[in-house]
Amino acid sequence: MEQLNNLQKQVGLPPEYAQKIIKNITTTKMAAAIETAVTQGRLNIKQIRELKEASVDLDSMVSENLRETLFKKTVDDIFSSGTGEFDEKEVYEKIPSDLNINKEKAKSVVHELAQSRLSNSLIQAVALLRQRNRQGVVSSLNDLLACDKAVPSRPLSWELPGELADLYTIYLKSDPAPEKLSRLQYLLDINDSTAAALREGR
Q: Report the pLDDT value the prediction gives residue 99, as an integer from 0 to 100.
A: 92
Give the separation between CA 190 and CA 194, rounded to whole angstroms: 6
Residue ranges of the chain with per-residue pLDDT less than 50: none
Q: Report the pLDDT value the prediction gives residue 202, as an integer from 0 to 100.
A: 60
pTM of the model: 0.80
pLDDT in tens, 133-173: 999 999 999 999 999 999 999 999 899 989 999 999 999 99
The candidate with the shortest Cα–Cα distance to 26, out of 49, 42, 40, 5, is 5
Residue 117: strand, helix, or coil: helix
- Note the maximum CA span of the chain: 86
